[in-house]
Amino acid sequence: MVEVDLPDDGLTTDFNVDAILKKMFKMFNNPSLPLEIPESQLRKLCLATREVTMSQPVVPELSAPVNICGDIHGQFEDFVEQIKVIGLPPQQNYLFLGDYVDRGKRSLETICLLFAFKVKYPNNVFLLRGNHECASINRIYGFYDECKRRYNIKIWKTFTDVFNCLPLAALVENTIFCMHGGLSPDLSDPRALNKIERPLDIPNRGVLCDLLWSDPDPDIVGFGDNDRGVSFTFGANEVSKFLDKNDLSLIVRAHQVVEDGFEFFCKRKVIIKSLRSDHYKLTFLSIHMMNKTWGL
């Protein structure tokens, strides 16, 4: 059983993230419990998350140790089980690579817990934007319908406004570049992304699109067409070129289902971190850094 020491406050008209977390932690011991947070509190949670997110850069720079998680896709029960094993923030630091909603049955529980963590522990929990944190995608793949069924369309629009403010990439210990998708022919310097103004919609092409959509391809050189019909694929030579130019050692990205929850590309210069292919089980990658070395 998870024991958490938080104030015993009810959900009143005034926003209280501890009260929301207390509600969420009750679900840790029984993940099948329904989400019982009033719409007014969800809106205030979204506003608080937006405020915290906008106060931080488009490319936050993190220190190790940090636990990195790929796609969650509304799998609240699996997410809770992993958090219980690894530990809660702020004792553990987390970087999530996007795709929190859609596909799974409990996107609302998942995103509410992540937002509450972000508000309560803004420097211990970081949430990057995935391609499913876009209205054009989650309007189709489940989150819109879940919001409409359980609350209303207005709450979906409120979440969308927060998604439009999420950071696009992260740097860990100045040597690991993390994003949801991958590299772009239009990206040369990761820190240059900090000049981008938010909130923003993700366009159909360009560096913002590629950061959320591109994929590695071991069979090509340079950049090629993507079977998704969006963005590019990138070869191992582009990885080496990008890492060398920016004095980086590793790329960690999500966006694909892989056999064991993670997979190497380009002679261990890229880690694909995502759901395992067997029933979409979640796995985490723990990074402990010292003198620009990394280990799993």
Identify whether the C-beta of residue 56 lies closer than 8 Å to the C-beta of residue 169. Answer: no
Please name the amino acid found at residue 132: H
Q: Is 290 helix (H, G, I), strand (E, B) or coil?
A: strand
- Is position 132 annotated as part of the catalytic site? yes
For the record, the structure tokens of 126 come out as 């970081």
Strands in 270-273's sheet, in edge-to-edge order, are: 61-62, 170-172, 176-178, 250-253, 270-273, 262-265
d(CA 99, CA 130): 5
Q: Output the CA angle 204-205-206, nearest 5 degrees.
A: 140
Query: Which residues have a Cβ under 8 Å from the Cβ of 190 and sit 6 or more positions away?
Result: 59, 169, 171, 177, 246, 248
d(CA 54, CA 277): 34
φ/ψ (deg, to 5) at 171:
-120, 130
Beta strands in 114-161 (DSSP E): 125-127
Query: Long-range contact list for 32-36, CB < 8 A, 24+ apart?
Result: 32/77, 35/106, 35/108, 35/109, 35/112, 35/150
d(CA 260, CA 274): 9
Q: Which of 132, 180, 255, 279 is the catalytic position?
A: 132
Positions marked catalytic:
132
